[in-house]
Amino acid sequence: MELKEMITKYKDYRDRMKAISYAEYMISWDAETEAPINSVEERSKQIGMLSQMSYEIERSEEYINIVKKLYQELDSLDDLLKIEIKKVHKELMQSLKIPMNELVEYSILLSKAHSTWKDAKLSSNYNIFKDTLKEIIDFNKKMVKYLETEELKGYNVLLDQYEEGMTKDKYDKFFNLLKEEIVPLVKQINSLPNQENKLSNRLFDINKQKVFADYLMKVMCFDKTRGLMKESEHPFTSGFGTSDVRVTNHYYEDLILSSIFSAIHELGHATYEQQCDSKLDETLLTGGTSMAMHESQSRFYENIVGRSYEFWKRHYPVLQNLFTEELKDVTLEDFYKCANYVECSLIRTEADELTYPLHIMVRYEIEKMIIEQDIDVNELPIIWNKLYKEYLGIDVPCDKLGILQDVHWAGGSFGYFPTYALGSAYGAQFLNSMKKDIDFNEALSNDNLQIINDWLKDKVHRFGQTKTPDEILNYATGESFDAKYFVEYLKTKFKNIYNL
């Protein structure tokens, strides 16, 4: 086959796979937002069919051969196709290393694991879940063996799957710095006399919360002609190229901050997706380059922008106007403090900006042991509780509020958690560089987020997946990842808030 013909054939395969994944995207969006309850069964059947179709393409001899041959001809391909083939080839070669029958077995295990985990969590009984967890762990260890290379061994194999280039050594350095600098700060804040949280025990009309979420879309310059916001149980963002980016939010009458910061967080993810270079839409390179890079954008907007004093100086009057009665005795300063209230709590997803990475550290330490040591699953809750005591100073009263709280391990995701903390840290590094180019605080207090969006578009978003996380960091900040910016940012912000 001529090179030209091969490229045409490859693109044809790719377009067919994209069409299938577009259908999957629409179906899962619908399932999470508006589909009627009784549509589950029919939907599962059709989703099964679609994934089989895409699997048949991906494992067809012709497709595999074309990818292999194009990989040998990399130098003759145009820049974009070169990057795409490198990525596709890497993923394909990895997936071919795992025997098919084991993958099928594993996906059956995972689909059952979800409901076992749910049952265990509901009854707060780890014993219900532990055998399933052991099976998932064993599979992951086996998978690590299949995927190991000269450079990547053990837990590093899994870490690299979620964040290319990140290793245990780099994460250890990062988390050790948090242990040295942030754990003592949290303990210090925790020893202060209890600060009043003025927003607790107040109710906020949900329709008005939605009006404010709509206002936030405008503030963040979200393009509604290429995206929308709906509701779901857990907020999330999903997108297909730059022209269709969707977010969800969730509203609780007694937790106004939850809907506000979820909206800003998801709109941060959405901004990344919408601001990719649209010429990547037809390739497999659109969207965020990695887990941590995506999370760096959502957390940048949620925490660095959204939980800043300057932001609320501008927007709090609007919120107060909506909730005149509810907020009449809450000043801007009160509100800012509530948005940054530090509390050593049990649940990761509800944690504040300062303690959040410590929740991740607990999971990271445990994952290291799980993958690299022969740890007895019976020991895991004990280790979990011990680490919560050590890093956050709190006792875990039951498994539901402890080791059973997250779905990740039930879904077989090991190596994913640390990217959440890493994302926050990337964000602080971007801030440091951004401040050299633009007046960040002025952009916030003048309601000019476009200037911040533009900086991130130029330095991060437009590249989609054409650059690795490390290449983006170097392009945007002139250096590789360095945790010092995050630690400095946290210390300055929270010492200021708590007058330390």
Considering Cα of 338, then 342, then 348, then 354, what sign does the dihedral take?
positive
Nearer Cβ to Zn ion, position 156 or 465? 465
CB of 89 to Zn ion, least distance (A): 29
In Å, how far are 364, 420, 487, 499 from 393, measured between CA atoms?
A: 18, 21, 20, 21
Q: Which amino acid is at 279?
A: K
Is-catalytic flag, 353? Answer: no
> How far is Cα 118 from Cα 134, in angstroms, rounded to an integer?
16
Q: Which amino acid is at 33?
A: T
Catalytic residue among 84, 266, 295, 302, which?
A: 266
Residue of this chain nearest to Zn ion (CB atom): 298
Nearer Cβ to Zn ion, position 273 or 399? 273
Nearer Cβ to Zn ion, position 275 or 283? 275
CB of 478 to Zn ion, least distance (A): 26
CB–CB of 359/182 below 8 Å? no
Q: Which of 372, 393, 490 is nearest to 432 (CA)?
A: 490
> How far is Cα 314 from Cα 267, in angstroms, rounded to an integer?
19
User: What DSSP string runs through 345-359?
Assistant: -S-GGG--TTTHHHH
CB of 269 to Zn ion, least distance (A): 6
- Chain residues binding Zn ion by CB under 5 A are 298
Q: What is the three-class DSSP state of 463?
A: helix
Backbone angles phi, psi at 248, to 5 degrees: -125, 165
Nearer Cβ to Zn ion, position 129 or 416? 416
Burial of 15 (0-12, 13-18, 19+ CB in 10 A): exposed
Q: Angle 399-401-402 (CA atoms, 0-180°, nearest 5)?
A: 55
Nearer Cβ to Zn ion, position 298 or 303? 298
Nearer Cβ to Zn ion, position 270 or 443? 270
Q: Angle 330-336-340 (CA atoms, 0-180°, nearest 5)?
A: 125
CB of 265 to Zn ion, least distance (A): 6
Nearer Cβ to Zn ion, position 106 or 236? 236
In this structure, the dihedral spanned by the alpha carbons of residues 333, 335, 338 and 340, taken in order and rounded to 10 degrees, is -70
CB of 349 to Zn ion, least distance (A): 10
Q: Where do the DSSP E strands lie in 224-382?
A: 227-231, 237-239, 245-249
CB of 183 to Zn ion, least distance (A): 24
Q: What is the three-class DSSP state of 246?
A: strand
CB of 295 to Zn ion, least distance (A): 5
| Residues with catalytic roles | 266
